[in-house]
Structure 1
Amino acid sequence: MKPIPGMPPAAVSELARMQDRLTFVYLERCTIHRDGNAITVTDERGVIHIPGATIGAMMLGPGTRITHQGMMLLADSGATSVWVGEHGVRYYAHGRPLATTSRLLEAQAAKMTNQSARLQVARRMYEMRFPGEDVSVLTMQQLRGREGARVKRSYREAAAASGVDWNRREYRPEDFASSDAVNQALTAATACLYGVVNAAIVALGCSPGLGFVHTGQARSFVFDIADLYKVEMAVPVAFACAAENLDPDDLPGEVRRRMRDVFRESKLITRCVRDIQMLLLDTELDEDVMLADVVELWDGGSRRVASGKSYEEFDVPW
């Protein structure tokens, strides 16, 4: 048999951990290919190389073209590929998760489908947003009310600090330009946040669709986790950019650049990984556990048995 042409995929153990990666790389009006294990980006200014294993999410903006080899490298590296419109994020595809264990996914599904456990996770999410407050006995309705008041207060405080006129949050997906500058900036900032959080969730092997507070949407868990950081990161950046009266064409790009800096300074991906593990497992997983390539067979209840073994007929109660 002829050898398979091209570069062999890197072993999972050779890839950078999610928390050690770049949060996101945004590209537009260029051609994306590969050179060995590096992504190449070519435009009229020349060629740059980006190590594939260092990318958390690659956002492909307008005018981008990507080759089959480039896409293959991103997939083999466990990087999320996000195709981006002119002003916002549309999620289309991702590479394989970095985690080889389904432990987090199973814990997510178990807690999401148990009403009591789901409420406990939701309370812990709100508790992370309300430091020093006791939310242990609040209902979902009470939690939503408190969160709504917190977000509105954060908008008012950011408006006062930046000197920006603020009326209300207004977002029209079909008509980005119809919103005022601060609403456009908020949309661009949260789009970046959703893309990076989605990359972290997928890399850990979790399901973006199994949310605890949000539900019924393919990225419900993304919205859950992003809400932990939105007021801290997206709101201040959006209002600061809106206050500078930037050219409307420059506003989304400036928001992206500042969000990238905030993500790096706050170690967003490290926090995402830790927070997701603590919410689902009450502990942080060791890297060896996340990369352990172990397949087992379900044996009823919570029991498991080894796979790759022949179980004789007399072992089966026919």
Structure 2
Amino acid sequence: MKKIPGAKKPELTELGRVSDRISFLYLEHAKLNRRDSAITVIDDRGEVFVPAAMINVLMLGPGVDITHRAMELLGDTGTSVLWVGERGVRQYAHGRALTHSSRLLETQAKLVSNVRSRVAVARKMYQMRFPNEDVSDLTMQALRGKEGSRVRRIYRDWSTRSGVEWSGREYDPEDFNAGTPVNQALTAAHQALYGLSYSVICALGASPGLGFVHTGHDLAFVYDFADLYKAEVTIPIAFTIAAESNEDDDIGRKTRLAVRDAFVDGKIVKRMVKDLKFLLNADEVTEETDLLNLWDDKLGLQKNGVSYREFKDNDQE
């Protein structure tokens, strides 16, 4: 048998921890291949090598050609791959994440399927935004109203601080350039935050679709989770970039670079891992990287890979 060239597939224990990885990398108009344990990126400026195991999420924009071998490496190292539109505005597809365990996912499903536990998790999210207030008795309607007031106040405050005129959040998903500079910056910043949130959620084994505040969308929990960091990270950056930019600047690129730096400086990935575990009561979940069992309604978990004999109900008697 012909030996496949390149480095061997790494064990899960050999890979970098999610909290220690680079937040995200956005690429467009480039050719991606693999050389051993690195992704090669070739564009009109030359060739660079990117260690796949040290990236949380790789955002692939228009004009990217990627080989099967490169995708194989990204899958083996648990790097989330997002295919996005121009300047990262829309997400079209994604790849498999790091964990092979469903424990956190099962915990999330239980929490979101019970009204009381779902409201409790939602209140945790809002409590993180209002650390000096007690929201434990507020209804979801009251929480939404309180959060709406907070966000409107943040937009007004940053408009005053930056000198950037603000008339509301308006953008066209089909036309990035149609928005005002600050709305363009907000779109680019939020998309980067969504990508990183998605990567952390999936890498730890949770579902991006099982939201507690947002619902009915395959990225509902991503929107829940990302909302925890917008006021601190993406909104200030967007207004700052809009204030400093002129008509000839690539606002999308400038914003992504600023957001990337803020993710690193603020250790956002480490915080996201900690926050996600807190929200989903992950301390109660046993961490297992690769365990496959068979479910039984009476006997509990049974071993996988066993040839079981035919069973009849009266065998228990």
Relative to the length of structure 2, the TM-score reads 0.92
Please, which moves more after superposition, 67-76 or 32-41? 67-76
Q: Deviations over 1:108-152 (max 9, x none)?
A: 111111111101000001111111111101111000000000000
CA contact (8 A) 1:83 1:89 kept: no
Q: Deviations over 1:159-211 (max 9, x none)?
A: 11111111111122123222211111111110110011111111112111110
Number of residue pairs aligned between Structure 1 and Structure 2: 314
Please, which moves more after superposition, 243-252 or 127-136? 243-252
Question: Aligned AA for 2:187?
Answer: T
Matched ranges for 1:77-226 at <5 A = 77-226=77-226
Match of 1:297 in 2: 294
Matched, 1:232 2:232: yes
CA contact (8 A) 2:82 2:95 kept: no
Match of 2:73 in 1: 73
Question: Aligned AA for 2:179?
Answer: S
Please, which moves more after superposition, 119-128 or 88-97? 88-97
CA contact (8 A) 1:277 1:285 kept: no
1:268 Cα deviation from its structure 2 partner: 1.4
The share of aligned pairs that are identical, in percent, is 49
Question: 1:316–1:37: structure 2 CA closer, same or farther, 3 Å change rule?
Answer: farther
CA contact (8 A) 1:211 1:220 kept: yes
CA contact (8 A) 2:32 2:41 kept: yes
Question: Aligned AA for 2:296?
Answer: D
User: 2: distance between equivalents of 1:168 and 1:302?
Assistant: 57
Q: Deviations over 1:37-64 (max 9, x none)?
A: 1000112222111111111111112322
Question: Aligned AA for 1:5?
Answer: I
Match of 1:43 in 2: 43
Question: Aligned AA for 1:298?
Answer: W
CA contact (8 A) 1:277 1:284 kept: no
* Counterpart secondary structure, 1:81: strand
User: 1: distance between equivalents of 2:108 and 2:248?
Assistant: 41
1:298 Cα deviation from its structure 2 partner: 2.4
Unpaired runs of 5+ in structure 2? none
1:70 Cα deviation from its structure 2 partner: 1.2
Question: 1:26–1:314: structure 2 CA closer, same or farther, 3 Å change rule?
Answer: closer
User: 1: distance between equivalents of 2:314 and 2:21?
Assistant: 50
Matched, 1:267 2:267: yes
User: 2: distance between equivalents of 1:66 and 1:75?
Assistant: 13
Please, which moves more after superposition, 88-97 or 170-179? 88-97
Question: Aligned AA for 2:182?
Answer: V
* Counterpart secondary structure, 1:172: coil
Question: Aligned AA for 1:134?
Answer: D
User: 2: distance between equivalents of 1:317 and 1:200?
Assistant: 47
Question: 1:99–1:40: structure 2 CA closer, same or farther, 3 Å change rule?
Answer: same
* Counterpart secondary structure, 2:280: helix
